[in-house]
């Protein structure tokens, strides 16, 4: 297994944000021309979460960059803070800011300078983070909170892996979603950057009155969402992708769900970035043989 190094609390000045952006970078200690994977955490999480995913990605050749967004519980932003209604915008800006300062982030990790291929960048995220990451792939936010004509796409990003990406709004959003997440009204028509979507087969959201199929909406309508992995029996946490100690009573199926998300996202991104052209086809065949999930492609 490849050894990794993780440097946390790297700070990037962010005057417009009101609080400097803090990040963690995790990378393999060996290897050349390493691709970059920018990861956006779920609601309330931070750069210190998602160890099972981040460590796996780094062990398999990615330089993983994790910003801490303003909604992180560790920051304790007050609900009446003037920035709160715009956190969804700040989140998107955080990802762009991380890429703007990528050279400095690489320099902050001992032994990493000169080993990174900054021309191969992917973005990922879970839940709220998937919504945030999707903006860099071309997804837009409908008014009145957003502007359907505002394009957040980042040309530096050439692939994505979105885990539990919220679906379309319509009449299906619950009162909870409408009150606290009014930005959750996406337009996927301009989502053209290639991406894998990962959905839980048993993920019944409190944000939608629909079933687990809600998480697959972008696959049906986004031109770039070319592949959908549905993890059999998985709920919103996919068995514990956000922490090693997420569930002391983790079952074999839960561990299998985590492993499937790890291996599928790794394989897809290596293929999409050109660092392992056969990785995704091989992974698809293995998933079909194991029957722990299903893959749809178009």
pLDDT tens digits for range 190-203: 999 999 999 999 99
Give, for 200, the enclosing helix (H) or strand (E): strand 195-200
Is the model's pLDDT at 33 over the cut of 90? Answer: yes
For 123, residues 6+ apart whose C-beta sits below 8 A from its C-beta are 37, 38, 39, 40, 95, 133, 136, 137, 154, 157, 159, 160
User: Among 197, 198, 242, 236, which residue's Cα sits nearest to residue 54?
Assistant: 242
Angle between helices 128-136 and 87-100 (to 10 degrees): 60
Give the range of the structural domain holding residue 184, as residue numbers without chain letter.
4-297
Sign, CA torsion 240/244/248/251 = positive
| 58-86 average pLDDT score | 96
| 37-50 average pLDDT score | 98
Cβ atoms of 122 and 156 within 8 Å: the answer is no
Is the model's pLDDT at 246 over the cut of 90? Answer: no
The number of domains in the chain is: 1
Question: CB-based burial of residue 270 (10 Å sphere; 0-12 exposed, 13-18 middle, 19+ buried)?
Answer: buried
pTM: 0.96
Going by pLDDT thresholds of 50, 70 and 90, the confidence category of residue 253 is low
Q: What integer pLDDT is reported at residue 247 of this predicted model?
A: 60
Going by pLDDT thresholds of 50, 70 and 90, the confidence category of residue 267 is very high
Is the model's pLDDT at 284 over the cut of 90? Answer: yes
Instruction: Enter the tokens of residue 297.
Output: 């492609």
User: Among 197, 292, 289, which residue's Cα sits nearest to residue 251?
Assistant: 292
For residue 168, give the CATH number of its domain: 3.40.50.1820
Going by pLDDT thresholds of 50, 70 and 90, the confidence category of residue 180 is confident
Q: What integer pLDDT is reported at residue 252 of this predicted model?
A: 56
Strands 63-67 and 21-28: antiparallel
121-158 burial: b if 16+ Cβ within 10 Å, else e: bbbbbbbbbbbbbbbbbbbbbeeeebeeeeebbbebbb
Residue with tokens 């519980």: 73
Tens digits of residue pLDDT in 142-172: 988 999 999 999 999 999 999 999 999 988 8
Cβ atoms of 80 and 35 within 8 Å: the answer is no
Q: Where are the beta strands (DSSP E) in 17-158?
A: 21-28, 34-40, 63-67, 116-126, 140-141
Cβ atoms of 188 and 131 within 8 Å: the answer is no
């Amino acid at each position: 297994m490849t050894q990794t190094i993780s440097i946390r609390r790297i700070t990037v000045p962010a005057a417009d944000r009101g609080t400097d952006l803090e990040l963690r970078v995790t990378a393999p200690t060996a290897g050349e021309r390493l691709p970059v994977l920018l990861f956006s955490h779920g609601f309330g999480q931070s750069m210190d979460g998602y160890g099972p995913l981040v460590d796996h990605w780094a062990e398999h050749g990615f330089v993983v960059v994790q910003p801490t967004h303003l909604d992180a519980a560790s920051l304790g932003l007050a609900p009446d803070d003037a920035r709160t209604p715009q956190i969804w915008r700040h989140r998107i800006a955080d990802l762009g800011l991380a890429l703007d300062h990528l050279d400095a982030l690489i320099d902050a990790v001992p032994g990493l300078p000169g080993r990174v291929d900054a021309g191969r960048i992917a973005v990922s995220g879970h839940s709220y983070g998937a919504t945030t990451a999707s903006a860099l792939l071309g997804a837009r936010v409908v008014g009145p909170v957003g502007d359907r004509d505002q394009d957040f796409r980042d040309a530096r990003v050439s692939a994505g892996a979105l885990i539990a990406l919220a679906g379309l709004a319509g009449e299906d959003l619950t009162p909870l979603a409408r009150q606290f997440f009014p930005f959750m009204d996406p337009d996927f028509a301009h989502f053209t950057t290639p991406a894998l979507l990962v959905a839980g087969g048993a993920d019944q959201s409190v944000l939608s009155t629909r079933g687990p199929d809600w998480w697959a909406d972008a696959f049906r309508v986004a031109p770039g969402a070319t592949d959908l992995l549905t993890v059999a029996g998985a709920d919103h946490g996919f068995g514990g992708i956000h922490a090693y100690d997420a569930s002391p009573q983790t079952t074999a199926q839960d561990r299998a769900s985590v492993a499937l998300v790890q291996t599928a996202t790794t394989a897809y991104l290596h293929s999409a970035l050109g660092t392992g052209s056969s990785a995704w086809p091989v992974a698809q065949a293995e998933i079909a043989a194991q029957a722990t999930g299903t893959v749809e492609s178009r």
